[in-house]
Chains A and B, each alone.
Chain A
Amino acid sequence: MYFDPVLMIALPLFAAFLIPLLGRVSKEIPKYVPVVMIGFNLYESIMMLPHSMVKPIIVIIAAWKPPLGINLTIGALGNVLALIISLVGFVVAIYNVRFVQKEPTEKYHMLYMLMVAGATGMVLTGDLFNLFVFLEITSISSYALTAFIRDRNGAEAAFKYLLIGSLSSTFVLLGIALIYGTTGTLNMADIAEKIQHVDSKITIVALILLVTGFGVESEMFPLNGWAPDAYSQAPTAIGAAFGGIVVKAGVYALARLIYTIFNFQGVFFFILIMGVITLLIAEMSAIRQKQLKRMLAFSSIGQMGLVLIALGLATVRGVEGGLFQMFNHAMIKPLLFLSAGYLVYYSGSKDISDLDGMGRKKPLLSFFFAFGAFAIMGLPPLSGFWSKFIIISETIRGGFVVVAALALFGSVIEAVYYLRVVGRLYFKQPNESEKTKYVHASAILAMSVLALVVLFAGLFPDMVMSYLKPAATELVDKTAYIKAVLTAGL
């Protein structure tokens, strides 16, 4: 039993508008509002799952059938991503409850909730311009959150992010202009239907503009200059959420574009190549990082490179692998970020070299970090293994042996730098014994949930995959999606 899915977006917005009022009542309330709202989203996306697997749920807004009105199209893919986003969002929201002490906290919670709502909107909407609006909601809240700490580096990172983000969003707008100018519609399914009759010289330019725009959010090289800075300078929880929320929405938009709306075969190969380049450059940069969070940021980019490779394969199985990788990345990266955030906090320095012997002082945090590192390296039986395995297997099946070898080379590099950090945590003699500080229970809870999900997905990958298969099918075979939207309510 699920409620109208539009509430997944409307209620967080409503709550966000109300937070200033609620904040007057008590300072405590705003802390829990995101937990409740995103928890509701989580509930919704779980309850919708059995329905959306069968056929897309079309939600009509303002009583206008598509393509006239805006509609939410919750196919398997959108639902799975909404689930991922709400799950990560929920966990990070729990973490936020105690972690955020920087004033003004109520604004922080507001921004955070809107970021999650925006990302949810991006993956649920069926309208191209609405996608743009939600992209802006997501990215503006991300800009503000990046600079939230208000130190010099945070502002710098935020400015970079904003510059690149807004530059690219104008390209998105240009692309939308081109599409509207030639097809006269903004509904994605309708566009997909009508764009076949448009001169491909025009549509390819539209696609390029849109890919450039959404490539920024999905961390494609060379559009990812913002990522390492933003990840490392944002508050820890936000850095964790970027990988699981903002980037996922960006990749979703990218996938939607290249699979559903447009139909260019060469683009897939292009995405594949960009994926490899992204992966390699990110891993190579990561290995030389001195700061822990910055290293994690580069590693995150590398993981997205792997996702892009999977999307570039354009096979159902490959996309499944890519979605699985996205799922894993969304679970593991927050785990790493949250534990790293605490480790950095306790060691009092952002540098990896100051983490010596934290394994002794903070065994649980270090365990979570090591667990996450092992999972992201793709060691069985953790879930990272399966996604990597499927992607590489499909890459080789597609005949791209060199690509697979390069991706694996990237994995080796990844193993090296993660092991170096884990080594610091465990192998080095702790420099001096400080009195141990308290780790909030909400943080431990958040990390445990993520770790359990990772372990569970690794032991029972079929459970996860059974939901990803319809999602991948929906993406690769777009006819069902288009039909569902255009016949909605008839």
Chain B
Amino acid sequence: METIPLILLILFGSALLSYVIGKINFVLKVGVALAGILVSGYYFLQLYGQAQSYTFRLLGFDIIWRINPLSWFFGMLIFGLGILVAIFSTSYMKNKERVDFYCFALCMTIASMFGIVVSGDLLSFFFFWEIMTWASFLMVIYYRYEAQAAGIKYFVMSMIGAYSMLIAILMVYAQLGTFSFDALASGWSDFSVSFQIALFVLFAIGFGVKAAVMPLHTWAPDAYGMSPAPFSALFSGVLSKMGIYGFALLMFVFGAGKLAGSVTTIHGVALPSYILAWFGALTALIATLIAVMQDDAKKLLAYSSVGQLGYIILGFSLNSSMGTTAALFHAVNHTIFKGMLFLSIGAVFYRTGTRKLSEMGGLISNMPYTFFVVLLGIITMAGIPPLSGFVGKWLIYEALLEKQMVLLAVVAFMASTAAFLYCYRLIFTIFLGQRPPRFDDVKEVPWTQRAPMLLLSLLTIYLGFYPYGLLNLIGQAESTVMGLVPMNLSQSILFNDLGHVSTIAVMNTVGTVFVIVFVLFNTLYKRSRKVGLKDIHTSGEVPGPEINLHYATDFYQPFSRSIRYVLERSADRLYGQFANNLEGFFDVLRYVYTGNAQTYALFVIMFLAMLLMFTNWLI
């Protein structure tokens, strides 16, 4: 049997099986799900470097499933994090209710994501896209009672995105008579400019919702926050990457990046792409600012995720080899560190039962491994050398400078700096400071949870040290699928027109400095001082007596005061108002059903009379 359908079959099969068998006992359902994911992961590994394709006809449409370096690249993310999340879940979901449901949704999500990346035609792409939407929706509503609003918001926004994408897909179909990517790739440049722009916008809305580009991001914080922690990791780490994969397809495979015809270009980038770049950059900045204000750890990570995805989209929209490399590299990074962080927040939640930053503190001694993972995670996330996050961000700045988009580079850099604020807060409020007494006997999580987190941490160190393998993979995808010239690479040195950077050198330097500082710090300031709960400086301002100064709740109070203007105009509220107004309008409209039988009869008569008057139009 062909490998691709086999993998899909195993995954969908294990989803159903774990749901059905899952009624029997816990080990079986988790076992079936895990086995399904592992086996399919094994088959997936064998697909590396191959160019398989599998075609059949359905309803008169040609369906193509194929694997190429780009889809393998994203498949790697899916299975990599998918397997770790599944392992993590084995202990995390123990003694929880509706585990069968969880396993079903998990397997369905992974299966549908794999389906998306192997789709070689728009129909199956959309088909799997929709399955992914509802499967992840099931996950969002896992904690049913609180999750309703989040779930419905997620679903409706996804649907709007999917339908806008559907219109684009069908417009393509109407023009070309086929759904295949290849046909679209070769036919794209023959479209009229306005048609191209329409397609670009519609597709961008569709992918943008999943990739949580502002202002389409409003579902993300709630949905990430509501789903069970292991799934949040998958959600933010991989599922949102499907939107990124969509953008990769749109920009480079379909060819929207080099919009043919007479479109204004700015800095060598077509106008729509340029606007997209700004969307990405502003998403990165604003989401970061909002993230700083969050109290719920998962919401904080969710906003940070939105921001990081903004970077990736920024990278794509540059339509250059370096930008794309940066974006894809950062995508991997994002998967890794979001996996680490969400899993460790999950681990903390698993032990403490809370996600509120203001309720936690001082867990470093109880959960040292988790602390270590979070530490590495925030270093990567903030893009500080020497971990892999630095490489990704460095590439993005380089790519921006290469295109001479200074303003964008400044915005991106600002966002990156602001990310320090929430990163610091994350680790400080959870692990440092004082421990509330009720968490005194909190223990470290079991190994099934520790192992995936640590594995991810090792990976980020490795990639920071030696990004060449990954970059090479990206290069392959770029040259074979995306039609770009890959970057000039040599072992651990990144070259470009402006210069080069050696990750090993960076790693050595930073490592040395770290050791020196660590030693100095420990020898010079050996005595540590116990601080009171309220002993804190509020961003440099002297607090007045009226301000409640718990270090966790009002950490950035003056800062939040200064950006309140932005927060008050949230897109979420805007959509809410819009939806309410729309419903009000619907409410008026349904008054045509007056309930009076004679009015209905009058409608019949009016209908007939109108038709009789306009017979000429009907002939």
B604 is an interface residue with CB less than 8 A from chain A? yes
Given the complex, which residues of A lie within 8 Å of B35, measured CB to CB? none
Chain B's interface: helix, strand, loop or mixed, by majority?
helix
User: Which residues of chain B from 158 to 207 have any CB-CB distance to chain A below 8 Å in the complex?
Assistant: 159-160, 163, 166-167, 170-171, 173-174
A397 is an interface residue with CB less than 8 A from chain B? yes
Rounded to whole Å, the gap between the CB of A59 and the closest CB of chain B is: 32
A428 nearest CB neighbor, chain B only: B145
Contact pattern, A 293-319, Cβ under 8 Å of B = 1, otherwise 0: 000000000000000000000000100
Q: Are B174's CB and A396's CB within 8 A?
A: yes
B151 is an interface residue with CB less than 8 A from chain A? yes
B462 is an interface residue with CB less than 8 A from chain A? no
Rounded to whole Å, the gap between the CB of B581 and the closest CB of chain A is: 13
B608 nearest CB neighbor, chain A only: A212
* Given known A-B contacts A168-B604, A223-B604, A401-B167, A266 and B619 have beta carbons under 8 A apart: yes
Expressed in whole angstroms, the Cα–Cα distance for A462 and B152 within the complex equals: 32
A264 is an interface residue with CB less than 8 A from chain B? yes
Q: Are B603's CB and A288's CB within 8 A?
A: no
Rounded to whole Å, the gap between the CB of B567 and the closest CB of chain A is: 27
Expressed in whole angstroms, the Cα–Cα distance for A221 and B148 within the complex equals: 33
* Given known A-B contacts A163-B601, A223-B603, A284-B589, A392 and B152 have beta carbons under 8 A apart: no
Given the complex, which residues of A lie within 8 Å of B127, measured CB to CB? 380-381, 385
Across the interface, B130 reaches (CB within 8 A) one of A204, A264, A380, namely A380
Across the interface, A208 reaches (CB within 8 A) one of B126, B170, B598, B618, namely B618
Expressed in whole angstroms, the Cα–Cα distance for A412 and B603 within the complex equals: 28
Q: Are B152's CB and A416's CB within 8 A?
A: yes
Contact pattern, A 399-418, Cβ under 8 Å of B = 1, otherwise 0: 10100110011011101100
Expressed in whole angstroms, the Cα–Cα distance for A264 and B151 within the complex equals: 47
Expressed in whole angstroms, the Cα–Cα distance for A264 and B587 within the complex equals: 36
Q: Are B617's CB and A266's CB within 8 A?
A: yes
Across the interface, B618 reaches (CB within 8 A) one of A270, A409, A411, namely A270
Q: Are B619's CB and A204's CB within 8 A?
A: yes
* Given known A-B contacts A411-B163, A416-B152, A427-B144, A401 and B601 have beta carbons under 8 A apart: no
Given the complex, which residues of B lie within 8 Å of A270, measured CB to CB? 617-618
Q: Are B601's CB and A167's CB within 8 A?
A: yes
Across the interface, A462 reaches (CB within 8 A) one of B59, B144, B174, B598, namely B59
Given the complex, which residues of A lie within 8 Å of B123, measured CB to CB? 389
B607 is an interface residue with CB less than 8 A from chain A? yes
Q: Are B163's CB and A408's CB within 8 A?
A: yes
Q: Are A164's CB and B604's CB within 8 A?
A: yes
Given the complex, which residues of B lie within 8 Å of A252, measured CB to CB? none
* Given known A-B contacts A266-B618, A281-B592, A164 and B583 have beta carbons under 8 A apart: no
A420 is an interface residue with CB less than 8 A from chain B? yes
Rounded to whole Å, the gap between the CB of B94 and the closest CB of chain A is: 22
B58 is an interface residue with CB less than 8 A from chain A? yes
Given the complex, which residues of A lie within 8 Å of B59, measured CB to CB? 386, 390, 461-462, 465
Q: Are B589's CB and A281's CB within 8 A?
A: yes
Given the complex, which residues of B lie within 8 Å of A412, measured CB to CB? 156, 159-160, 163
B586 is an interface residue with CB less than 8 A from chain A? yes
Q: Are B600's CB and A163's CB within 8 A?
A: yes
B247 is an interface residue with CB less than 8 A from chain A? no
Across the interface, A201 reaches (CB within 8 A) one of B155, B174, B615, namely B615
Given the complex, which residues of A lie within 8 Å of B598, measured CB to CB? 163
Q: Are B170's CB and A397's CB within 8 A?
A: yes
A488 is an interface residue with CB less than 8 A from chain B? no
* Given known A-B contacts A405-B167, A408-B163, A412-B160, A205 and B615 have beta carbons under 8 A apart: yes
Given the complex, which residues of A lie within 8 Å of B603, measured CB to CB? 222-223, 225
Rounded to whole Å, the gap between the CB of A200 and the closest CB of chain B is: 6
A404 nearest CB neighbor, chain B only: B167
Q: Are A397's CB and B174's CB within 8 A?
A: yes
B590 is an interface residue with CB less than 8 A from chain A? yes
Expressed in whole angstroms, the Cα–Cα distance for A385 and B59 within the complex equals: 12
Q: Are A396's CB and B171's CB within 8 A?
A: yes
* Given known A-B contacts A208-B612, A208-B615, A462-B58, A423 and B607 have beta carbons under 8 A apart: no
Expressed in whole angstroms, the Cα–Cα distance for A119 and B590 within the complex equals: 30
Rounded to whole Å, the gap between the CB of B209 and the closest CB of chain A is: 12
Expressed in whole angstroms, the Cα–Cα distance for A281 and B586 within the complex equals: 8
Q: Are A204's CB and B615's CB within 8 A?
A: yes
A209 is an interface residue with CB less than 8 A from chain B? yes
Rounded to whole Å, the gap between the CB of B180 and the closest CB of chain A is: 15
Contact pattern, B 131-165, Cβ under 8 Å of A = 1, otherwise 0: 10110000001001101100110011001100100
Q: Are A284's CB and B145's CB within 8 A?
A: no
Q: Are A415's CB and B159's CB within 8 A?
A: yes
Given the complex, which residues of A lie within 8 Å of B155, measured CB to CB? 415, 419
Q: Are A288's CB and B587's CB within 8 A?
A: yes
Q: Are A225's CB and B147's CB within 8 A?
A: no
Q: Are A427's CB and B167's CB within 8 A?
A: no
Contact pattern, A 459-485, Cβ under 8 Å of B = 1, otherwise 0: 001100100000000000000000000
A267 is an interface residue with CB less than 8 A from chain B? yes
Expressed in whole angstroms, the Cα–Cα distance for A399 and B171 within the complex equals: 9
A215 nearest CB neighbor, chain B only: B607
User: Which residues of chain A from 202 to 227 have any CB-CB distance to chain B below 8 Å in the complex?
Assistant: 204-205, 207-209, 211-212, 215-216, 222-223, 225-226
A429 is an interface residue with CB less than 8 A from chain B? yes
Across the interface, A461 reaches (CB within 8 A) one of B58, B585, B611, namely B58
B407 is an interface residue with CB less than 8 A from chain A? no
Q: Are A163's CB and B152's CB within 8 A?
A: no
A235 is an interface residue with CB less than 8 A from chain B? no
Q: Are B608's CB and A397's CB within 8 A?
A: no
Across the interface, A423 reaches (CB within 8 A) one of B60, B151, B593, namely B151
B599 is an interface residue with CB less than 8 A from chain A? yes
B597 is an interface residue with CB less than 8 A from chain A? yes
A100 is an interface residue with CB less than 8 A from chain B? no
A327 is an interface residue with CB less than 8 A from chain B? no
A228 is an interface residue with CB less than 8 A from chain B? yes
Given the complex, which residues of B lie within 8 Å of A411, measured CB to CB? 159, 163
Q: Which of B134, B145, B167, B593 has the most CB of A within 10 A?
A: B593
Given the complex, which residues of B lie within 8 Å of A419, measured CB to CB? 151-152, 155-156
Across the interface, A164 reaches (CB within 8 A) one of B126, B145, B173, B601, namely B601
Expressed in whole angstroms, the Cα–Cα distance for A204 and B152 within the complex equals: 47
A112 is an interface residue with CB less than 8 A from chain B? no
Given the complex, which residues of A lie within 8 Å of B60, measured CB to CB? 317, 465
* Given known A-B contacts A168-B604, A285-B590, A211 and B611 have beta carbons under 8 A apart: yes
Q: Are A393's CB and B173's CB within 8 A?
A: yes
Given the complex, which residues of B lie within 8 Å of A228, measured CB to CB? 593
Expressed in whole angstroms, the Cα–Cα distance for A225 and B605 within the complex equals: 13
Rounded to whole Å, the gap between the CB of B15 and the closest CB of chain A is: 12
Given the complex, which residues of B lie within 8 Å of A43, measured CB to CB? none
B606 is an interface residue with CB less than 8 A from chain A? yes
Across the interface, B134 reaches (CB within 8 A) one of A216, A265, A379, A416, namely A379
Contact pattern, A 249-286, Cβ under 8 Å of B = 1, otherwise 0: 00000000000000011110010000000000100110
A47 is an interface residue with CB less than 8 A from chain B? no
Rounded to whole Å, the gap between the CB of A363 and the closest CB of chain B is: 11
* Given known A-B contacts A223-B607, A385-B127, A397-B170, A288 and B618 have beta carbons under 8 A apart: no
**Cβ-closest 10 pairs across A and B:** A225-B600, A285-B590, A284-B586, A427-B148, A222-B603, A408-B163, A396-B170, A266-B618, A160-B597, A397-B174
Instruction: Give the B-binding residues of A (Cβ under 8 A).
Output: 159-160, 163-164, 167-168, 171, 200-201, 204-205, 207-209, 211-212, 215-216, 222-223, 225-226, 228-229, 264-267, 270, 281, 284-285, 287-288, 317, 359, 374, 379-381, 385-386, 389-390, 392-393, 396-397, 399, 401, 404-405, 408-409, 411-413, 415-416, 419-420, 423, 426-429, 461-462, 465
Known contacts A223-B604, A264-B618, A397-B173, then 10 further A-B pairs from the complex at CB < 8 Å, ordered by chain A residue: A212-B608, A212-B611, A267-B618, A270-B618, A284-B590, A385-B127, A397-B170, A405-B167, A412-B156, A420-B152
25 contacts between A and B (CB under 8 A): A163-B600, A164-B600, A164-B601, A208-B618, A211-B611, A222-B606, A266-B619, A288-B586, A317-B60, A379-B130, A380-B130, A385-B127, A392-B166, A393-B173, A397-B173, A399-B174, A401-B171, A408-B166, A411-B163, A412-B159, A419-B152, A419-B156, A420-B152, A423-B151, A461-B59
